[in-house]
Amino acid sequence: MKIIIVGSGFGGLACAKALGGSSHQVLVIDKNNHNLFQPLLYQVATGALSPADIAEPIRRVLKRYANVSVVMAEVDRIDTTAQQVFSTDGGQYPYDVLVLATGSRYSYFGHDDWAQYATGLKTIENARLIRSRLLSAFERAEKSRAPDEQRRLMTTVVIGGGPTGVEMAGAIAELGRWTLEGEFRNIDPKSARVLLVEGGERILPQFPQELADYAQRELQRLGVELLVRHGVTQIDAQGVTIGSEHIGAGTIVWGAGVSATPVAQWLGMEADRTGRIAVGPDMSVPGLPGVYALGDIAAFMQDGKPLPGLAQVAKQQGRHLGRALRSAAGPGDTLPPFRFHDRGNTAVIGRHAAVFDFGRYHMKGGLAWLLWAVVHVYLLVNAEKRALVSLQWLWRYISKARGVRLIP
Ligand SMILES: Cc1cc2nc3c(=O)[nH]c(=O)nc-3n(C[C@H](O)[C@H](O)[C@H](O)COP(=O)(O)OP(=O)(O)OC[C@H]3O[C@@H](n4cnc5c(N)ncnc54)[C@H](O)[C@@H]3O)c2cc1C
Protein backbone atom coordinates (compact mmCIF):
# COMPACT_ATOMS: atom_id res chain seq x y z
CA MET A 1 0.00 0.00 0.00
CA LYS A 2 1.02 3.61 -0.60
CA ILE A 3 0.76 5.35 2.78
CA ILE A 4 1.09 9.12 3.11
CA ILE A 5 1.72 10.65 6.54
CA VAL A 6 1.16 14.42 6.64
CA GLY A 7 3.01 15.98 9.60
CA SER A 8 6.12 14.59 11.22
CA GLY A 9 5.70 15.79 14.79
CA PHE A 10 5.22 13.50 17.78
CA GLY A 11 2.40 11.47 16.19
CA GLY A 12 3.46 11.38 12.54
CA LEU A 13 7.07 10.47 13.29
CA ALA A 14 6.07 7.65 15.65
CA CYS A 15 3.74 6.30 12.94
CA ALA A 16 6.47 6.49 10.26
CA LYS A 17 8.98 4.71 12.52
CA ALA A 18 6.48 1.94 13.28
CA LEU A 19 5.97 1.48 9.52
CA GLY A 20 9.72 1.48 8.84
CA GLY A 21 10.92 -1.77 7.28
CA SER A 22 7.37 -2.89 6.39
CA SER A 23 6.20 -3.89 2.93
CA HIS A 24 4.37 -0.58 2.50
CA GLN A 25 5.65 2.40 0.56
CA VAL A 26 5.55 5.30 3.02
CA LEU A 27 5.80 9.01 2.18
CA VAL A 28 6.16 11.55 5.00
CA ILE A 29 5.23 15.15 4.10
CA ASP A 30 6.09 18.00 6.46
CA LYS A 31 6.34 21.74 5.87
CA ASN A 32 9.49 21.79 8.01
CA ASN A 33 12.62 19.70 7.56
CA HIS A 34 12.84 18.99 11.28
CA ASN A 35 10.99 17.30 14.08
CA LEU A 36 10.63 19.63 17.06
CA PHE A 37 10.54 18.76 20.76
CA GLN A 38 8.02 21.43 21.72
CA PRO A 39 8.06 20.81 25.52
CA LEU A 40 11.53 22.41 25.69
CA LEU A 41 10.80 25.34 23.37
CA TYR A 42 10.46 27.67 26.35
CA GLN A 43 14.14 27.02 27.11
CA VAL A 44 15.07 28.20 23.60
CA ALA A 45 12.89 31.28 24.12
CA THR A 46 14.74 32.11 27.35
CA GLY A 47 18.27 31.43 26.13
CA ALA A 48 18.92 28.17 27.97
CA LEU A 49 19.10 25.91 24.91
CA SER A 50 19.76 26.51 21.24
CA PRO A 51 17.23 25.46 18.57
CA ALA A 52 19.45 22.63 17.30
CA ASP A 53 19.35 21.01 20.77
CA ILE A 54 15.64 20.25 20.44
CA ALA A 55 15.16 19.85 16.67
CA GLU A 56 16.31 16.98 14.49
CA PRO A 57 16.18 16.64 10.67
CA ILE A 58 13.32 14.28 9.79
CA ARG A 59 15.43 12.65 7.04
CA ARG A 60 18.09 11.76 9.58
CA VAL A 61 15.60 10.10 11.93
CA LEU A 62 14.07 8.05 9.11
CA LYS A 63 17.13 7.34 6.96
CA ARG A 64 17.48 3.74 8.08
CA TYR A 65 14.06 2.80 6.71
CA ALA A 66 14.45 2.23 2.97
CA ASN A 67 10.67 2.08 2.44
CA VAL A 68 10.14 5.56 3.93
CA SER A 69 10.67 8.75 1.87
CA VAL A 70 10.42 12.34 3.05
CA VAL A 71 9.16 15.42 1.19
CA MET A 72 9.34 18.94 2.57
CA ALA A 73 6.13 20.63 1.45
CA GLU A 74 3.13 22.40 2.96
CA VAL A 75 -0.13 20.58 2.37
CA ASP A 76 -3.11 22.84 1.63
CA ARG A 77 -5.68 20.58 -0.01
CA ILE A 78 -6.83 16.96 -0.07
CA ASP A 79 -9.05 15.31 -2.67
CA THR A 80 -10.45 12.27 -0.87
CA THR A 81 -12.32 11.05 -3.98
CA ALA A 82 -9.23 11.03 -6.21
CA GLN A 83 -7.10 10.07 -3.15
CA GLN A 84 -4.55 12.83 -3.70
CA VAL A 85 -2.74 15.24 -1.40
CA PHE A 86 -1.80 18.68 -2.78
CA SER A 87 0.88 21.05 -1.55
CA THR A 88 1.32 24.81 -1.94
CA ASP A 89 4.32 24.35 -4.28
CA GLY A 90 2.19 22.48 -6.84
CA GLY A 91 3.03 18.99 -5.56
CA GLN A 92 0.46 16.21 -5.99
CA TYR A 93 0.77 12.92 -4.13
CA PRO A 94 -1.51 9.87 -4.58
CA TYR A 95 -2.27 7.59 -1.63
CA ASP A 96 -4.08 4.38 -0.66
CA VAL A 97 -3.95 5.23 3.04
CA LEU A 98 -3.67 8.76 4.46
CA VAL A 99 -2.55 9.57 8.02
CA LEU A 100 -3.07 13.16 9.10
CA ALA A 101 -0.98 14.45 12.02
CA THR A 102 -0.50 18.18 11.47
CA GLY A 103 -0.95 19.25 15.09
CA SER A 104 -2.27 22.57 16.36
CA ARG A 105 -1.49 26.28 16.17
CA TYR A 106 -2.13 29.27 18.41
CA SER A 107 -5.57 30.80 18.39
CA TYR A 108 -6.18 34.41 19.40
CA PHE A 109 -9.94 34.03 19.97
CA GLY A 110 -10.82 36.07 16.90
CA HIS A 111 -8.15 38.75 17.53
CA ASP A 112 -5.58 37.67 14.96
CA ASP A 113 -4.08 41.18 14.96
CA TRP A 114 -2.77 40.48 18.49
CA ALA A 115 -0.34 37.90 17.07
CA GLN A 116 2.09 40.61 15.91
CA TYR A 117 2.57 41.82 19.53
CA ALA A 118 1.99 38.65 21.56
CA THR A 119 4.02 35.79 20.14
CA GLY A 120 2.80 32.23 20.66
CA LEU A 121 5.34 29.49 21.35
CA LYS A 122 4.96 26.77 18.76
CA THR A 123 7.91 26.93 16.36
CA ILE A 124 11.63 27.67 16.45
CA GLU A 125 10.93 31.04 14.80
CA ASN A 126 8.48 31.88 17.62
CA ALA A 127 11.05 30.95 20.28
CA ARG A 128 13.77 33.00 18.56
CA LEU A 129 11.45 35.98 18.28
CA ILE A 130 10.52 35.85 21.97
CA ARG A 131 14.19 35.53 22.96
CA SER A 132 15.11 38.43 20.76
CA ARG A 133 12.28 40.67 22.08
CA LEU A 134 13.07 39.77 25.67
CA LEU A 135 16.80 40.45 25.45
CA SER A 136 16.35 43.54 23.25
CA ALA A 137 13.93 44.98 25.82
CA PHE A 138 16.65 44.79 28.51
CA GLU A 139 19.17 46.39 26.11
CA ARG A 140 16.76 49.24 25.30
CA ALA A 141 15.96 49.73 28.98
CA GLU A 142 19.70 50.06 29.71
CA LYS A 143 19.93 52.88 27.11
CA SER A 144 16.73 54.66 28.13
CA ARG A 145 16.86 57.58 30.53
CA ALA A 146 13.08 57.69 31.10
CA PRO A 147 12.12 55.69 34.20
CA ASP A 148 8.59 54.96 32.87
CA GLU A 149 9.93 53.60 29.62
CA GLN A 150 12.57 51.57 31.47
CA ARG A 151 9.85 50.07 33.63
CA ARG A 152 7.69 49.26 30.59
CA LEU A 153 10.58 47.61 28.75
CA MET A 154 11.46 45.53 31.78
CA THR A 155 7.90 44.24 32.13
CA THR A 156 6.93 40.95 30.50
CA VAL A 157 3.33 39.82 30.30
CA VAL A 158 2.66 36.11 29.77
CA ILE A 159 -0.94 35.39 28.81
CA GLY A 160 -2.35 31.96 29.67
CA GLY A 161 -1.83 30.03 32.92
CA GLY A 162 -1.46 26.54 31.41
CA PRO A 163 1.85 24.63 31.51
CA THR A 164 3.43 26.74 28.73
CA GLY A 165 2.54 30.03 30.46
CA VAL A 166 3.75 28.78 33.85
CA GLU A 167 7.03 27.51 32.39
CA MET A 168 7.64 30.72 30.47
CA ALA A 169 6.83 32.99 33.42
CA GLY A 170 9.11 31.01 35.75
CA ALA A 171 12.01 30.93 33.27
CA ILE A 172 11.75 34.67 32.48
CA ALA A 173 11.71 35.51 36.20
CA GLU A 174 14.85 33.41 36.70
CA LEU A 175 16.50 35.15 33.75
CA GLY A 176 16.13 38.55 35.44
CA ARG A 177 16.82 37.30 38.90
CA TRP A 178 19.96 35.25 38.32
CA THR A 179 21.23 35.12 34.75
CA LEU A 180 21.43 38.83 33.93
CA GLU A 181 22.43 39.86 37.42
CA GLY A 182 25.41 42.24 37.47
CA GLU A 183 25.61 42.59 33.68
CA PHE A 184 23.94 46.01 33.34
CA ARG A 185 24.95 49.39 34.72
CA ASN A 186 21.80 51.53 34.44
CA ILE A 187 19.13 48.96 35.22
CA ASP A 188 18.77 46.24 37.80
CA PRO A 189 17.51 43.10 36.00
CA LYS A 190 16.27 41.81 39.37
CA SER A 191 13.61 44.53 39.33
CA ALA A 192 12.14 43.19 36.07
CA ARG A 193 8.39 42.50 36.36
CA VAL A 194 6.81 39.29 35.10
CA LEU A 195 3.02 39.08 35.04
CA LEU A 196 1.12 35.88 34.38
CA VAL A 197 -2.45 36.54 33.27
CA GLU A 198 -5.08 33.80 33.38
CA GLY A 199 -8.74 34.31 32.53
CA GLY A 200 -9.97 31.14 34.31
CA GLU A 201 -10.40 30.35 37.98
CA ARG A 202 -6.80 29.24 38.54
CA ILE A 203 -3.50 28.43 36.85
CA LEU A 204 -2.75 24.86 35.66
CA PRO A 205 -6.44 23.89 35.35
CA GLN A 206 -5.43 20.45 34.02
CA PHE A 207 -3.65 19.66 37.30
CA PRO A 208 -5.10 18.91 40.76
CA GLN A 209 -5.73 21.96 42.97
CA GLU A 210 -2.92 21.06 45.37
CA LEU A 211 -0.31 21.12 42.57
CA ALA A 212 -1.69 24.33 41.09
CA ASP A 213 -1.50 25.98 44.54
CA TYR A 214 2.10 24.86 44.89
CA ALA A 215 2.95 26.23 41.41
CA GLN A 216 1.32 29.52 42.34
CA ARG A 217 3.38 29.80 45.53
CA GLU A 218 6.61 28.95 43.70
CA LEU A 219 5.94 31.50 40.97
CA GLN A 220 5.26 34.16 43.58
CA ARG A 221 8.48 33.21 45.34
CA LEU A 222 10.27 33.94 42.05
CA GLY A 223 8.56 37.33 41.96
CA VAL A 224 5.96 36.53 39.28
CA GLU A 225 2.73 38.55 39.72
CA LEU A 226 -0.34 36.43 39.11
CA LEU A 227 -3.49 37.95 37.67
CA VAL A 228 -6.02 35.12 37.83
CA ARG A 229 -9.65 35.58 36.63
CA HIS A 230 -8.42 38.52 34.55
CA GLY A 231 -9.26 38.65 30.86
CA VAL A 232 -7.10 40.49 28.33
CA THR A 233 -9.23 42.92 26.35
CA GLN A 234 -6.63 44.53 24.10
CA ILE A 235 -3.02 44.07 23.05
CA ASP A 236 -0.98 46.71 21.25
CA ALA A 237 2.66 47.62 20.63
CA GLN A 238 2.93 49.27 24.06
CA GLY A 239 1.38 46.57 26.23
CA VAL A 240 -1.76 44.81 27.35
CA THR A 241 -5.15 46.06 28.51
CA ILE A 242 -6.75 44.03 31.29
CA GLY A 243 -10.24 45.23 32.11
CA SER A 244 -9.81 49.00 32.03
CA GLU A 245 -6.13 49.02 33.05
CA HIS A 246 -3.35 49.32 30.49
CA ILE A 247 -0.13 47.60 31.55
CA GLY A 248 2.94 48.71 29.59
CA ALA A 249 5.11 45.77 28.51
CA GLY A 250 8.32 45.33 26.53
CA THR A 251 7.59 41.66 25.78
CA ILE A 252 4.26 39.87 25.51
CA VAL A 253 3.99 36.08 25.24
CA TRP A 254 0.79 34.31 24.20
CA GLY A 255 0.07 30.89 25.65
CA ALA A 256 -3.68 31.15 26.00
CA GLY A 257 -5.37 29.03 23.38
CA VAL A 258 -4.72 26.56 20.59
CA SER A 259 -6.80 25.26 17.74
CA ALA A 260 -6.17 22.40 15.33
CA THR A 261 -4.59 22.96 11.91
CA PRO A 262 -7.33 23.22 9.23
CA VAL A 263 -7.74 19.49 8.59
CA ALA A 264 -11.54 19.70 8.95
CA GLN A 265 -11.55 22.23 6.09
CA TRP A 266 -9.36 20.00 3.91
CA LEU A 267 -11.70 17.05 4.44
CA GLY A 268 -14.92 19.08 4.29
CA MET A 269 -15.93 17.91 7.75
CA GLU A 270 -17.43 19.35 10.91
CA ALA A 271 -14.92 20.36 13.58
CA ASP A 272 -15.35 20.78 17.34
CA ARG A 273 -14.83 24.08 19.18
CA THR A 274 -11.04 23.76 18.92
CA GLY A 275 -11.01 22.67 15.29
CA ARG A 276 -10.50 18.95 15.91
CA ILE A 277 -12.23 16.26 13.89
CA ALA A 278 -13.99 13.26 15.42
CA VAL A 279 -12.28 9.92 14.83
CA GLY A 280 -13.27 6.31 15.53
CA PRO A 281 -11.64 3.94 18.06
CA ASP A 282 -8.96 3.00 15.47
CA MET A 283 -8.38 6.70 14.61
CA SER A 284 -10.19 6.33 11.27
CA VAL A 285 -12.10 9.34 9.99
CA PRO A 286 -15.79 8.36 9.71
CA GLY A 287 -17.07 8.17 6.14
CA LEU A 288 -13.58 8.31 4.59
CA PRO A 289 -12.17 4.76 4.35
CA GLY A 290 -8.37 4.67 4.53
CA VAL A 291 -8.10 8.15 6.13
CA TYR A 292 -6.84 8.45 9.73
CA ALA A 293 -6.20 11.41 12.04
CA LEU A 294 -4.23 11.53 15.29
CA GLY A 295 -2.61 13.79 17.85
CA ASP A 296 -3.76 17.37 18.39
CA ILE A 297 -6.09 17.39 15.37
CA ALA A 298 -8.14 14.38 16.49
CA ALA A 299 -11.03 14.41 18.98
CA PHE A 300 -10.49 10.86 20.22
CA MET A 301 -13.03 9.84 22.85
CA GLN A 302 -11.89 7.62 25.72
CA ASP A 303 -14.17 6.86 28.67
CA GLY A 304 -16.59 9.53 27.44
CA LYS A 305 -14.01 12.35 27.28
CA PRO A 306 -11.75 13.60 24.47
CA LEU A 307 -8.06 12.88 25.04
CA PRO A 308 -5.98 16.00 25.80
CA GLY A 309 -3.57 17.56 23.31
CA LEU A 310 -0.39 16.05 24.68
CA ALA A 311 2.81 14.73 23.15
CA GLN A 312 2.38 11.37 24.86
CA VAL A 313 -1.12 10.97 23.38
CA ALA A 314 0.12 11.75 19.85
CA LYS A 315 3.15 9.50 20.21
CA GLN A 316 1.19 6.52 21.51
CA GLN A 317 -1.45 6.99 18.81
CA GLY A 318 1.18 7.23 16.06
CA ARG A 319 2.96 4.09 17.24
CA HIS A 320 -0.30 2.17 17.57
CA LEU A 321 -1.57 3.21 14.13
CA GLY A 322 1.77 2.44 12.45
CA ARG A 323 1.86 -1.04 13.96
CA ALA A 324 -1.77 -1.68 13.04
CA LEU A 325 -1.27 -0.53 9.44
CA ARG A 326 1.84 -2.70 9.13
CA SER A 327 -0.29 -5.81 9.25
CA ALA A 328 -3.40 -4.40 7.53
CA ALA A 329 -4.47 -6.32 4.45
CA GLY A 330 -5.76 -3.29 2.56
CA PRO A 331 -6.96 0.30 2.86
CA GLY A 332 -10.12 0.71 4.91
CA ASP A 333 -9.54 -2.46 7.01
CA THR A 334 -10.92 -2.17 10.54
CA LEU A 335 -7.88 -1.80 12.77
CA PRO A 336 -7.51 -2.70 16.46
CA PRO A 337 -8.85 0.03 18.78
CA PHE A 338 -6.44 2.42 20.47
CA ARG A 339 -6.28 2.97 24.22
CA PHE A 340 -4.22 5.74 25.82
CA HIS A 341 -2.07 4.88 28.85
CA ASP A 342 -1.42 7.98 30.94
CA ARG A 343 2.25 8.17 31.99
CA GLY A 344 1.70 11.33 34.07
CA ASN A 345 1.43 15.01 33.36
CA THR A 346 4.11 17.48 34.37
CA ALA A 347 5.04 21.17 34.40
CA VAL A 348 8.21 22.86 35.61
CA ILE A 349 8.13 26.17 37.45
CA GLY A 350 11.83 26.80 37.97
CA ARG A 351 14.97 25.52 39.60
CA HIS A 352 14.04 22.73 42.06
CA ALA A 353 10.32 23.25 41.47
CA ALA A 354 8.07 21.11 39.28
CA VAL A 355 4.76 19.27 39.55
CA PHE A 356 3.87 15.75 38.46
CA ASP A 357 0.35 14.35 38.30
CA PHE A 358 0.21 10.57 38.02
CA GLY A 359 -3.54 10.41 38.62
CA ARG A 360 -3.63 8.73 42.01
CA TYR A 361 -0.21 10.05 43.06
CA HIS A 362 1.02 13.62 42.98
CA MET A 363 4.54 14.90 43.31
CA LYS A 364 5.98 18.38 43.72
CA GLY A 365 9.23 20.13 44.60
CA GLY A 366 12.85 19.17 44.03
CA LEU A 367 12.25 15.47 43.41
CA ALA A 368 9.55 16.24 40.83
CA TRP A 369 11.97 18.69 39.20
CA LEU A 370 14.66 16.00 38.98
CA LEU A 371 12.18 13.52 37.54
CA TRP A 372 10.98 16.18 35.06
CA ALA A 373 14.58 16.65 33.88
CA VAL A 374 15.25 12.90 33.55
CA VAL A 375 11.99 12.27 31.68
CA HIS A 376 12.55 15.17 29.27
CA VAL A 377 16.10 14.11 28.48
CA TYR A 378 14.90 10.53 27.94
CA LEU A 379 12.13 11.69 25.58
CA LEU A 380 14.49 13.61 23.28
CA VAL A 381 14.77 12.14 19.82
CA ASN A 382 18.25 10.53 20.01
CA ALA A 383 21.37 9.94 22.13
CA GLU A 384 23.19 12.96 20.68
CA LYS A 385 20.45 15.37 21.82
CA ARG A 386 20.25 13.65 25.22
CA ALA A 387 24.00 14.12 25.78
CA LEU A 388 23.97 17.74 24.55
CA VAL A 389 21.01 18.80 26.66
CA SER A 390 22.20 16.93 29.79
CA LEU A 391 25.61 18.61 29.62
CA GLN A 392 24.13 22.07 29.17
CA TRP A 393 21.66 21.57 32.00
CA LEU A 394 24.44 20.37 34.27
CA TRP A 395 26.52 23.43 33.44
CA ARG A 396 23.54 25.72 33.90
CA TYR A 397 22.73 24.10 37.20
CA ILE A 398 26.24 24.80 38.49
CA SER A 399 26.66 28.28 36.97
CA LYS A 400 23.03 29.56 36.71
CA ALA A 401 24.13 30.80 33.25
CA ARG A 402 22.10 30.80 30.07
CA GLY A 403 24.56 30.58 27.19
CA VAL A 404 22.31 31.14 24.19
CA ARG A 405 21.64 34.85 24.48
CA LEU A 406 22.35 36.12 20.99
CA ILE A 407 20.00 38.69 19.52
CA PRO A 408 19.90 37.90 15.78
C1 LIG B 1 5.35 25.17 24.02
C2 LIG B 1 4.70 23.83 24.12
C3 LIG B 1 4.99 23.00 25.20
C4 LIG B 1 4.40 21.75 25.32
N5 LIG B 1 4.72 20.96 26.39
C6 LIG B 1 4.21 19.73 26.46
C7 LIG B 1 4.59 18.85 27.54
O8 LIG B 1 5.37 19.24 28.42
N9 LIG B 1 4.06 17.60 27.56
C10 LIG B 1 3.20 17.16 26.59
O11 LIG B 1 2.76 16.00 26.65
N12 LIG B 1 2.82 17.96 25.58
C13 LIG B 1 3.30 19.22 25.49
N14 LIG B 1 2.91 20.04 24.46
C15 LIG B 1 1.91 19.56 23.51
C16 LIG B 1 2.55 18.67 22.45
O17 LIG B 1 3.69 19.29 21.91
C18 LIG B 1 1.52 18.38 21.36
O19 LIG B 1 0.40 17.79 21.96
C20 LIG B 1 2.12 17.44 20.32
O21 LIG B 1 3.17 18.08 19.65
C22 LIG B 1 1.06 17.00 19.32
O23 LIG B 1 1.66 16.14 18.41
P24 LIG B 1 1.15 16.09 16.90
O25 LIG B 1 1.91 14.99 16.26
O26 LIG B 1 -0.33 16.07 16.86
O27 LIG B 1 1.57 17.50 16.29
P28 LIG B 1 2.99 18.22 16.25
O29 LIG B 1 3.98 17.55 17.12
O30 LIG B 1 2.72 19.66 16.47
O31 LIG B 1 3.45 18.00 14.74
C32 LIG B 1 2.76 18.53 13.67
C33 LIG B 1 3.67 18.48 12.44
O34 LIG B 1 2.89 18.79 11.29
C35 LIG B 1 3.59 19.68 10.47
N36 LIG B 1 2.59 20.44 9.71
C37 LIG B 1 1.65 21.28 10.21
N38 LIG B 1 0.89 21.77 9.21
C39 LIG B 1 1.37 21.21 8.06
C40 LIG B 1 0.98 21.31 6.68
N41 LIG B 1 -0.03 22.09 6.30
N42 LIG B 1 1.68 20.62 5.77
C43 LIG B 1 2.72 19.83 6.16
N44 LIG B 1 3.11 19.69 7.44
C45 LIG B 1 2.44 20.36 8.38
C46 LIG B 1 4.41 20.53 11.44
O47 LIG B 1 5.54 21.09 10.80
C48 LIG B 1 4.79 19.50 12.51
O49 LIG B 1 6.02 18.88 12.21
C50 LIG B 1 3.50 21.30 24.32
C51 LIG B 1 3.19 22.13 23.23
C52 LIG B 1 3.79 23.38 23.13
C53 LIG B 1 3.48 24.26 21.95
Q: What is the pLDDT of residue 179?
A: 84
Same domain, 234 and 166: yes
Q: What is the pLDDT of residues 344-357, one digit of tens each?
A: 999 999 999 999 99
Which residues, listed in sequence order, are joined to residue 259 by a DSSP beta bridge? 105
210 is catalytic: no
> 264 and 250 in one domain?
no
Identify the domain boundary among 326, 353, 375. 326
If phi > 0 it is left, if psi is from -120 to 50 it is alpha, else beta; for residue 156 that is beta
Domain-terminating residue out of 277, 293, 326: 326
Is 222 part of any domain?
yes
Question: What is the CA(143)–ligand 1 centre distance, in A?
Answer: 39
Q: What is the pLDDT of residue 398?
A: 86
User: Which position has the higher pLDDT, 329 or 269?
Assistant: 269
Average pLDDT score over residue span 175-179: 87
More confident residue, 389 or 332: 389
Q: Is 403's pLDDT higher than 80?
A: no
Catalytic residue among 167, 174, 198, 218: 167
- pLDDT of 346: 95
Of the residues 98, 123, 296, 342, which should be mutated to test ligand 1's pocket, given the most ligand atoms within 8 Å of the CB? 296
pLDDT attached to residue 331: 85
Residue 172 domain flag = yes
* Rounded average pLDDT over 174-182: 87
In a domain, 369, yes or no: yes
Confidence of residue 177 (pLDDT cuts 50, 70, 90): confident
Q: Do 193 and 132 share a structural domain?
A: yes
Residue that terminates a domain, selected from 326, 356, 375: 326
For a pocket test of ligand 1, which of 37, 310, 375 has the largest count of ligand atoms closer than 8 A to its C-beta?
310
Q: Are residues 180 and 250 in the same domain?
A: yes
Quote the pLDDT of residue 297.
Answer: 98
The pLDDT tens digits of the residues spanning 209-253 come to: 999 999 999 999 999 999 999 999 999 999 999 989 999 999 999
Within this chain, do residues 129 and 98 fall inside the same structural domain, yes or no? no
Mean predicted confidence (pLDDT) in 359-380? 94
**Percent of the chain scoring above 90 in pLDDT:** 89
Interval between CA 37 and ligand 1 midpoint (Å): 8
Write down the pLDDT at residue 271. 96
CATH number at residue 266: 3.50.50.60
Any domain includes 152:
yes
pLDDT of residue 397: 84
pLDDT of residue 333: 85
Among 69, 46, 44, smallest CA distance to 54 is for 44
For residue 54, tell me if it sits in a domain. no
Pair (118, 218) in one structural domain: yes
More confident of the two residues 157 and 392: 157
Sequence-distant contacts of 365-373: CB under 8 A, at least 24 apart: 365/214, 371/346, 372/346, 372/348
Residue 291 and residue 100 in contact, taking contact as beta carbons nearer than 8 Å: yes
Q: Are residues 309 and 386 in the same domain?
A: no
pLDDT at 400: 78
Output the pLDDT for position 407: 84
Q: Output the pLDDT for position 76.
A: 97
pLDDT one-digit tens code per residue, 30-47 = 999 999 999 999 999 999
Going from the Cα of 311 to the center of ligand 1, the distance in angstroms, rounded, reads: 7
Percent of the chain at pLDDT > 70 equals 100
Across residues 253-278, what is the average pLDDT? 95
- For the segment 306-327, what is each residue's pLDDT rounded down to a tens digit? 999 999 999 999 999 999 999 9
The protein residue with its alpha carbon nearest to ligand 1, atom 31, reads 9
Average pLDDT in the 292-304 region? 97
Amino acid at 326: R
Tell me, in angstroms, the distance from the centre of ligand 1 to residue 146's CA.
42
Residues 308 and 356 in one domain: no
What is the DSSP track for 288-357?
STTEEE-GGGEE-EETTEEPPS-HHHHHHHHHHHHHHHHT-SSTTPPPPPP------EEEEEETTEEEEE
Domain that holds residue 12: 2-31+73-105+259-326
- Same domain for 123 and 239? yes
Here the CATH number for the domain that contains residue 207 is 3.50.50.100
What's the number of domains the chain is made of? 2
Structural domain includes residue 43: no
> Would residue 56 count as lying in a domain?
no
Provide mean pLDDT across the span 8-17.
Answer: 98
For residue 257, the 8-state DSSP code is: -
Q: Are 237 and 230 in contact (CB under 8 A)?
A: no
Res 399 pLDDT > 90: no
Q: What are phi and psi of 187, to 5 degrees?
A: -125, 155
Its pTM stands at: 0.95
**Whether residues 174 and 280 fall in one domain:** no
Query: What's the pLDDT at 174?
Result: 93
Say whether both 373 and 286 belong to one domain: no
Across the chain, mean pLDDT equals 95
Tell me whether residue 140 is in a domain: yes
Query: How many whole angstroms from 62 Cα to the centroid of ligand 1?
Result: 18
Q: Taking CB atoms and a 6 Å cutoff, what residues make up the pocket around ligand 1?
A: 6-12, 29-32, 38-39, 41-42, 74-75, 101-103, 121-122, 163-164, 261, 295-296, 309-312, 314
365 and 232 in one domain? yes
For range 122-151, the mean pLDDT = 96
User: What is the C-alpha separation between 401 and 366, in angstroms, rounded?
Assistant: 19
Which pLDDT score is estimated for 55? 95
